[in-house]
Structure 1
Amino acid sequence: MPTRWLRGVGAHAEIDEDAFLDGAYILSIGGAQQSHVNLSEPRQVFYEYLRRIANVIDVVRPPGEPLRVLHLGAGALTLVRYVQATRPSSEQTAVELERELLDFVLEHLPLPAGTKCRFLLDDAAAALDGLPTAGFDAIVLDVFAGADAPAHLTEAPFYRQLLNLAAPGGVVLVNVGDDPPLAFARRQVRTLAGEAQGTAALGETAMFTGRYPGNIVLAALREPWPAEWTDKLLAAGPHPAAVLTGPDLDAFAAGTGG
């Protein structure tokens, strides 16, 4: 079982084999599972919220078309592997604050041959200044851990900057983990929707009652939300799936939905 001390977070990272799936591994930090990677089949995304993010990436452009993707928070690079497997020749950039974590993952869970991924060791916000505007088909922010998330990554100016980095028709995807009554998630919906032209929230249907802990994925564009995306994402799951837009999303954000 490989382990590595992460000075920045003051905890050990470890990689374990998945006892139930050959060729798959689990990354844990401080004893808590963080990422799941299937090296044998990188198209398989195990975590429910990551699967929803992957489903949005699937509909952004025609199948197989290479993308430019920005990952803010690298983890075990599960989505980097997914994009390479489903859209070879994609150009990806991954930003990670913890050098030891990135080195640890690349040493023990190397990326597939041919993967084009640039790595930046920096804070998610600080890294944006050197990136081209209107250049990314998908931007994935996966650094939140509930209401104790870094404040500067939860505010309107940061979301505005992310949207400015999106190409026409490109999408900003934000994973928000929260506990009941989901006050942090609702606030993030309001903040992101205030900067975007089109916004949706994806999750298991029960999450939007506000009675359960878990993850909600926010998706935002500089253009109106495509209605056909809602149909495709509802069909893709994981089930039971909900995709909130328009008045339903407004009601959830205000705390009156569910």
Structure 2
Amino acid sequence: MSLLSARLIVFFASAAVLVIETLATRLLAPYIGVSLETFTGVIGTVLAGISVGSWMGGRLADRGDPSRLLGPIFILGGLTAMASPTIVTMVGPAFTGANPVSIVVITALAFFLPATVLSAINPVIVKIRLESLANTGEVVGSFSAVGTAGAIVGTFLTGFVLLATIPTRPVVLGIGVLLILTGVGFSIRRGRSVVGAILGTLILGGLLLTVTGPCEWETAYACARVEADPENESGRILWLDRLRHSYIDLEDPEVLEFRYIRDFAGVIEATSDPGAIDVLSIGGGGFTMPRYLSSIRPGTENTVLEIDDALIEIATTELGLETTEMTIITEDARTALRGLPDDSFDMIIGDAFSGTSVPWHLTTVEFAQQLDERLRDTGTYVLNIIDYGDLDLVRSVLATLEQVFTSVAVAAPPEYLAGSDGGNFVVIAGHQPIDTDALNQTLDAMASRSITITDDELDVFIADARPLTDDFAPVDQMIDRPEF
């Protein structure tokens, strides 16, 4: 085998492992969400596969002619890669929690084997090319470098190009077929039958195309689908991964189905003067609040920061969004804020999520300072936070906002505040006193079960919670997630 051929083989195999690893987070998202813990579990499990595969490949290569192994390894690697999405779809619904154990187990079931098999190729190629012990370091080092380069290309190609342009399953099918064809080529050269490989490809390819996941659309950030409300002909529910993110009534934008959305509306009603206001929404989703405010407060200027341009398309085609009614900036909120003028908004609404948690960089003191600069003196910031159990996250978010704003409060059902249940908490911050009695009356009028606490009650609730900063914001680890 020529040096060029050997390097191309190692480059391709290493790239395939990282393509599969990058796709794994997307395939798993509908079942275990997207969080730092998800990425940690996937990376760690695939690295374990790489380690085991490298060790096994080296041992097998020492037991005979290593070139005999290339065909079977490529074929098995392609078949196991093609099987991974079907495995996720079949076992995913059984994983009702997003704890570290669940993440590692489901990742191992679907992706450990292809990572292990394909990682055996590198030591096999090294054995083939190793002609003398005198150049061991050069051979091993060069192929390690080539493999790393392939992994980098596979990561960048998948993350920056493939996921943004092609659905996940066709990508898996393509990489699996390429791996199998490579193995078939090596097998034919050695006179082996490839009937099994062909049958396996047809069976797994058919399953891959017919056993589909829950996604109607795969955006760059989420698995999305829209469901009709069986109790309301004009009602639509937007699901992102495993959570209901938005409810839209196509005929009446003033219908607010979710309790926390009614809390948003109640806070705006209680803290803003009547009439049109200037509102910045961080996170668009189904664009429920911008449409509600445009309807109930004609003339309101809505600016929406939504990082996922595919959601804008879904909201337009499926949820009746009229983009001419608002200004939509498709960019990460943290960077987009830099281009917005100071003292320009009466209300900022925070409702951006990655899985069940707010992206960590949108929870810190530094981000709150950016928001404060964009708010007018009488403006208010309201933020949706999901938390359960010990409520470490919502308490830290409140402690964070107290570092920046004069007045801070939280609205939630009494059992949430007591820690006996959990869900959506609406955090309120500004520089004007918060009249909790008036706000509670407004929330009651909005048919919300929430009550508002501030001042001494809030201090007791926050207790010794630590503020979040750009240097310390372990949001994914702080939130206690429910069992779905």
Q: CA offset at residue 111 of structure 1? A: 2.8
The match for 1:90 is 300
The match for 1:5 is 218
* 1:44-63 mapped onto 2 (5 Å cutoff): 44-63=255-274
Is the 1:145–1:176 Cα contact (8 Å) retained in structure 2?
A: no
Task: Give the Cα–Cα distance (whole angstroms) in 2 for the partners of residues 131 and 156 of structure 1.
Answer: 19
The match for 1:201 is 410
Q: CA offset at residue 223 of structure 1? A: 2.5
Is the 1:73–1:94 Cα contact (8 Å) retained in structure 2?
A: yes
The match for 1:30 is 241
* 1:117-136 mapped onto 2 (5 Å cutoff): 117-136=326-345
Cα gap change, 1:147/1:75 in structure 2, threshold over 3 Å: closer, same or farther? closer
1:169 aligns to what SS in structure 2? strand
Task: Give the Cα–Cα distance (whole angstroms) in 2 for the partners of residues 244 and 54 of structure 1.
Answer: 17
Is the 1:145–1:178 Cα contact (8 Å) retained in structure 2?
A: no
Match of 1:253 among 447, 453, 462: 462
2:411 aligns to what SS in structure 1? strand
Show CA shifts across 1:115-154 (max 9, x none).
Answer: 6310111111111011111111110111245885432211
2:326 aligns to what SS in structure 1? strand
Is the 1:146–1:178 Cα contact (8 Å) retained in structure 2?
A: no
Is the 1:71–1:95 Cα contact (8 Å) retained in structure 2?
A: yes
Structure showing greater radius of gyration is 2
Is the 1:146–1:176 Cα contact (8 Å) retained in structure 2?
A: no
Is the 2:357–2:386 Cα contact (8 Å) retained in structure 1?
A: no
The match for 1:21 is 232
1:191 aligns to what SS in structure 2? helix
2:257 aligns to what SS in structure 1? coil
Show CA shifts across 1:181-225 (max 9, x none).
Answer: 110110001101221111110011110011222011001112232
Task: Give the Cα–Cα distance (whole angstroms) in 1 for the partners of residues 326 and 448 of structure 2.
Answer: 31
State yes or no: 1:156 paired with 2:369: no
State yes or no: 1:189 paired with 2:398: yes
* 1:66-77 mapped onto 2 (5 Å cutoff): 66-77=276-287
TM-score (norm 1): 0.90
Task: Give the Cα–Cα distance (whole angstroms) in 2 for the partners of residues 93 and 31 of structure 1.
Answer: 27
Q: CA offset at residue 237 of structure 1? A: 4.8
Q: CA offset at residue 255 of structure 1? A: 6.6
1:125 aligns to what SS in structure 2? helix
The match for 2:347 is 138
Root-mean-square deviation over aligned CA pairs: 2.3
Is the 1:52–1:238 Cα contact (8 Å) retained in structure 2?
A: no
Task: Give the Cα–Cα distance (whole angstroms) in 2 for the partners of residues 49 and 3 of structure 1.
Answer: 26
Number of matched residues? 252
AA aligned opposite 1:198: S
AA aligned opposite 2:359: P
Q: CA offset at residue 239 of structure 1? A: 4.2
AA aligned opposite 1:240: R
Task: Give the Cα–Cα distance (whole angstroms) in 2 for the partners of residues 48 and 220 of structure 1.
Answer: 19
Is the 2:270–2:439 Cα contact (8 Å) retained in structure 1?
A: no
Cα gap change, 1:21/1:165 in structure 2, threshold over 3 Å: closer, same or farther? same
Show CA shifts across 1:218-252 (max 9, x none).
Answer: 01112232456434335335443310010001111
Q: CA offset at residue 71 of structure 1? A: 0.5
2:379 aligns to what SS in structure 1? strand
Task: Give the Cα–Cα distance (whole angstroms) in 1 for the partners of residues 457 and 422 of structure 2.
Answer: 20
Task: Give the Cα–Cα distance (whole angstroms) in 2 for the partners of residues 57 and 128 of structure 1.
Answer: 21
The match for 1:175 is 384
State yes or no: 1:107 paired with 2:317: yes
Cα gap change, 1:186/1:172 in structure 2, threshold over 3 Å: closer, same or farther? same
Q: CA offset at residue 104 of structure 1? A: 1.3
Q: CA offset at residue 83 of structure 1? A: 0.2
Q: CA offset at residue 38 of structure 1? A: 1.0
State yes or no: 1:241 paired with 2:454: no
Percent identical: 28
Cα gap change, 1:234/1:81 in structure 2, threshold over 3 Å: closer, same or farther? closer
In structure 2, runs of 5+ residues without a counterpart are 1-214, 466-484
The structure whose residues are more often strand, as a share, is 1
TM-score (norm 2): 0.49
Task: Give the Cα–Cα distance (whole angstroms) in 1 for the partners of residues 351 and 442 of structure 2.
Answer: 20
AA aligned opposite 1:200: A
Task: Give the Cα–Cα distance (whole angstroms) in 2 for the partners of residues 188 and 142 of structure 1.
Answer: 14
Task: Give the Cα–Cα distance (whole angstroms) in 2 for the partners of residues 211 and 111 of structure 1.
Answer: 38
In structure 1, runs of 5+ residues without a counterpart are none
The structure whose residues are more often helix, as a share, is 2
Q: CA offset at residue 168 of structure 1? A: 2.5
Q: CA offset at residue 33 of structure 1? A: 1.7
Task: Give the Cα–Cα distance (whole angstroms) in 1 for the partners of residues 305 and 314 of structure 2.
Answer: 15
Is the 2:381–2:429 Cα contact (8 Å) retained in structure 1?
A: yes
